[in-house]
Structure 1
Amino acid sequence: MDNPKISSLNADERDRKIKKITALLSFLICIFFNIILILFAVNTGSLKVSLMELYDGLFIAYNPNVATIYDLRFPRIIISLLAGAGIATSGCLFQAVLKNPLADPGIIGISSGAGFVSVIITAFFPMLFFLTPIFAFIGGILAFFLVYTLSWKDGLSPLRIILVGVAVNAMFAGLSSALNSMAGGNMQGVASIVNGNITMKTWSDVSILFPYIIIGIILSLFMAVNCNLLSLEDTTAKALGVNVNRTRIVISSIAVLLASISTAVVGIIGFLGLIVPHIGRLLVGADYRKLIPFSVILGSFTFLLADTLGRTIASPYEVPAAIIMSIIGGPFFIALLRGSRNYGK
């Protein structure tokens, strides 16, 4: 007769192997589709070139079509990849800190707070344009402080955080829209932040976004183990030598940085930080050492896909990526809310 304990161990070992293979395949497939999507996005529009022409124009001889693509499409694609990675990673970190799978920098007001301050700088202090990410970070911190403070009542309730976050988000979004209206709606920088439109982004926008996102993602990867510890009960984490409050503050600051910097460049994008980590948990598991890097890759793909769809579905007109994400993310959020057993506690 088979020993039940041995059979159980074999089954557990088999399950672990299946999970590892699933996670590895998920990473490889996501990277592959990212590459395919980048190549498709480069060649989507009125100008089309072959891969050989693109290579020759970039590295060998000048080609006016390739030069146009390089100046107009490449910055937009890179910004989509960076912002998608930043927002998705931010959502992943917020979910770890708040122990709430419904947390998202757009839903809980972080993006709107950062966007509001960015609008003020863009509209009234354009000479400080290159410092916009710093001010956006301050706006994100302010929004997070408001949500955290107003949600506190004998502890933090996941539902209360969401409800207060929705209110704070609406407040800052309304203020941003009011400033946009006061400006006549004709200031490109202000309108792009309010509407989440990344049309006409340039290499200067890439240079603003790139260092902050890369630094934020690297810091996030270093904090992955601490994110795992925060998923434990606070008393258990403290028994393991973790300074829970300090760890929450550090991780929250990284999350606010990523969301705020992304918002300052691409505008307010909702639901991306909610959808990507949730899909990541289904594919690679809840271990943040895997979930964070997977969120980086899948977040890049998701935002670039939304932007590419926006450029193609109503061509020659464009639908902002923020609208595409809202159409997709709204039903997803409702389904996740209804399926969560603990959201009302």
Structure 2
Amino acid sequence: MVSMGRKVAAFCVVVLGLLLLFVFAVNTGSLQVSPLQLFNGLFVAYDPDVATIYDLRFPRIFIAMVGGAATATSGVLLQAVIRNPLADPGIIGINAGASLAAILVTAFVPVLFYFTPLFAFAGGLVAFALVYSLSWKGGLSPLRIILVGVAVSAMFTGIASALDSGTGSSMSSVTSIVDANITMKTWSDFWTLLAYAVVGLLLAVCVWKRCDLLALSDKTARSIGVNVDRTRIFVSCIAVLLASISTAIIGPISFLGLIVPHIARLLVGSGHKTLIPFSMLLGALCLLLADTVGRTIAAPYEISAAIIMSVVGGPAFILLLRKARASYGE
């Protein structure tokens, strides 16, 4: 049981870290401004340097924060639904399904580009439905879900690669738009992401009690009057929505929806009333940190935030599992 003081301290540290990282990210690059100059340029008088930063860096920073919050929250919800600490939008194929749908819409129906998150949501739902139905055999097995999820993810990824190869790689530029790429994102991309993310994040906050109930066995939950199947489907749809809209704008990010919930549980406990909002903040911090590191570690070249998360995520997840045996069992 995590004390209230520790929870408050964890929230304060993450919020402070996010604010400091935001200021650092704003000044990462060839053009730098002081906090006072930034404030004056935004709210007092026009400043060409601040205007450039506002147009080029601010959308990228805010997209990383909102996308990170959405992806991390999706991981929390999926782990509650499936009762599997290894559940992640990337591992069980949701990201691959959403990415394929986004690529198809962008390539073949560009007039519907601004509705890409909706089509990505449909693709994510198809992927999740496949995993859920193919994993069902008198009940859900965590191992079957992971194995089927890996297979479904590989299938959708293969379809995207086949389309790319079959068209003479003419889809490569389209794929790069939605394939874990935050570079050159605009305010239009941010507002598109935010419009869907706000709905999903608000719904996620509202279902914290249902997530706690899903942690019980199905028999116990039904005995207290919970419609387990309906609750599981509803929470799953929210999780798929959050993962899909993030994938549609910034592409699939590996391990973020897997690692952040584990770190959050160690810091604030397993109660979803605090776990969900804390995971939002921590997810925003982690993805913004990955993107900022990618911009600075090989400057003037850039490394994708997805690559940073993959390189750091694997070892970090193994380390977390080794240190958290008491929480998750042998």
Shorter-chain TM-score: which interval? Answer: over 0.9
- CA contact 1:123–1:187 (8 Å) conserved in 2: no
1:247 aligns with 2:249: no
What is the aligned counterpart of 1:199 among 162, 171, 183?
A: 183
* Structure-2 change in CA distance of 1:238 and 1:116 (3 Å): same
Distance 2:207 2:82 in 1: 15
What is the aligned counterpart of 1:265 among 245, 249, 256?
A: 249
% identical aligned pairs: 58
Deviations 1:106-152 (A, max 9, x none): 11110110000000011111111011011000000000001111111
TM-score by length of 2: 0.95
- CA contact 1:102–1:337 (8 Å) conserved in 2: no
What is the aligned counterpart of 2:102 among 105, 108, 118?
A: 118
- CA contact 2:41–2:50 (8 Å) conserved in 1: yes
Distance 2:93 2:115 in 1: 21
Equivalent residue, structure 2, for 1:47? 31
1:327 aligns with 2:311: yes
Distance 2:110 2:307 in 1: 27
- Cα shift at 1:90: 0.2
Equivalent residue, structure 1, for 2:76? 92
Equivalent residue, structure 2, for 1:10? none
Letter in 2 for 1:88: A
- Cα shift at 1:53: 1.1
Letter in 1 for 2:308: I
Equivalent residue, structure 2, for 1:215? 199
What is the aligned counterpart of 2:87 among 62, 82, 103?
A: 103
Consecutive unaligned residues in structure 1, runs of 5 or more: 1-15
What is the aligned counterpart of 1:306 among 285, 290, 294?
A: 290
Distance 2:248 2:122 in 1: 11
TM-score by length of 1: 0.91
- Cα shift at 1:329: 1.4
3-state SS of paired residue (2:137): coil
- CA contact 2:262–2:320 (8 Å) conserved in 1: no
What is the aligned counterpart of 1:33 among 5, 12, 17?
A: 17
What is the aligned counterpart of 1:190 among 175, 193, 210?
A: 175
* Structure-2 change in CA distance of 1:150 and 1:337 (3 Å): farther
* Structure-2 change in CA distance of 1:344 and 1:188 (3 Å): farther
- CA contact 1:110–1:144 (8 Å) conserved in 2: yes
- Cα shift at 1:63: 1.2
Equivalent residue, structure 1, for 2:150? 166
Letter in 1 for 2:52: T
Consecutive unaligned residues in structure 2, runs of 5 or more: none
Distance 1:159 1:344 in 2: 15
What is the aligned counterpart of 2:302 among 313, 318, 330?
A: 318
1:278 aligns with 2:262: yes
- Cα shift at 1:331: 2.2
What is the aligned counterpart of 2:61 among 72, 77, 87?
A: 77
* Structure-2 change in CA distance of 1:103 and 1:55 (3 Å): same
Distance 1:42 1:189 in 2: 28
- Larger mean CA deviation between 325-334 and 130-139 belongs to 325-334
Equivalent residue, structure 2, for 1:8? none
Aligned length: 328
Equivalent residue, structure 2, for 1:11? none
- Cα shift at 1:340: 6.6
Distance 1:149 1:240 in 2: 26
Distance 1:335 1:28 in 2: 25
- CA contact 2:106–2:113 (8 Å) conserved in 1: yes
3-state SS of paired residue (2:57): helix
Letter in 2 for 1:193: V
Equivalent residues in 2 for 1:118-137, closer than 5 Å = 118-137=102-121
Letter in 2 for 1:191: S
| Max Rg structure | 1
Letter in 2 for 1:220: A
- Cα shift at 1:70: 0.4
Distance 1:321 1:313 in 2: 11
- Larger mean CA deviation between 67-76 and 334-343 belongs to 334-343
1:57 aligns with 2:41: yes
